[in-house]
Structure 1
Amino acid sequence: MFRFLFRLMATFALAVAVIMAVLDVTRTIAASRLVLTPLRDSWASVSPGTLEQVRVFIVENTHPLVWNPIMTSLLDQPGFAVFGVLAFLLYAIGRRPERRIGRFVAER
């Protein structure tokens, strides 16, 4: 059940990564230069209020250093890369373990 949920979240994160990559490629072609949209800009254009709420939540409930060096550097990365790595990690957590039956058995 949990493996299925992790794989489902990985699929969703991969879909978001592909959408963000297509947007960046489209902007790159239109501008005739490389355009990589940071996650902060994408998030602020979709829902600016939630970005501030997450900042306040992290600063109030964790150490303030979690927001400033860690989260700000993460939010400055291209959105497609962040969601691509997230998709990979979620899929790795939710993958099925390798079957060990017959692993050392001589097969004919």
Structure 2
Amino acid sequence: MRLLLRIIGTLLIACAVILVIIDGTKSLGANAIVITPLRDSWTQMHPQSLAAVHDFLTSRLFGPGLQPAVEALLGCPGWAVIGVPGLLLAWAGRSRRVRVFLRQDQL
């Protein structure tokens, strides 16, 4: 289970790093800090899936209650929305054993 958490966490961190690089490249080109919201990144990659998620949420009973939270999440930077869960999953999948380091003269 820990291996699966580490793999998923690593993939999410890799996607977050890619989004940071994209924002950094845009910032260099614009000579200003550019932070792309998740909504814009998702729309550029696959707009049909964003529309499908929106339709799914509006057709459910809990949809109107979750709509403000989803809109706030889509307005945040994509690298933060993807990177924070990735870091948490990687941390949850870390090795639990205590590592003992010995100096060479202690051997």
Partners of 1:97 and 1:70 in 2: CA distance? 34
RMSD over equivalenced CA pairs, Å: 1.4
Superposition deviation, residue 25 in structure 1: 0.5
Partners of 1:8 and 1:39 in 2: CA distance? 22
Partners of 2:61 and 2:9 in 1: CA distance? 26
Aligned partner letter, 1:75: L
Partners of 1:50 and 1:42 in 2: CA distance? 12
Partners of 1:54 and 1:4 in 2: CA distance? 29
Matches within 5 A, 1:10-89: 10-63=9-62, 64-66=64-66, 68-89=67-88
Give the TM-score of the pair, scaled to structure 1: 0.82
Q: Deviations over 1:37-82 (max 9, x none)?
A: 000000001100000101111232351111x211110110111111
Partners of 2:16 and 2:58 in 1: CA distance? 27
Tell me, which stretches of 5 or more residues in structure 2 are unaligned?
A: 99-107
Aligned partner letter, 2:53: V
Partners of 2:72 and 2:33 in 1: CA distance? 20
How many equivalent pairs are there?
97
Give the TM-score of the pair, scaled to structure 2: 0.83
Aligned partner letter, 2:39: R
Aligned partner letter, 1:65: G
Q: Secondary structure at the match of 2:59?
A: helix
Partners of 1:3 and 1:48 in 2: CA distance? 33
Tell me, which stretches of 5 or more residues in structure 1 are unaligned?
A: 100-108
Distance of aligned partners of 1:62 and 1:93 in 2 relative to their CA distance in 1, 3 Å threshold = farther
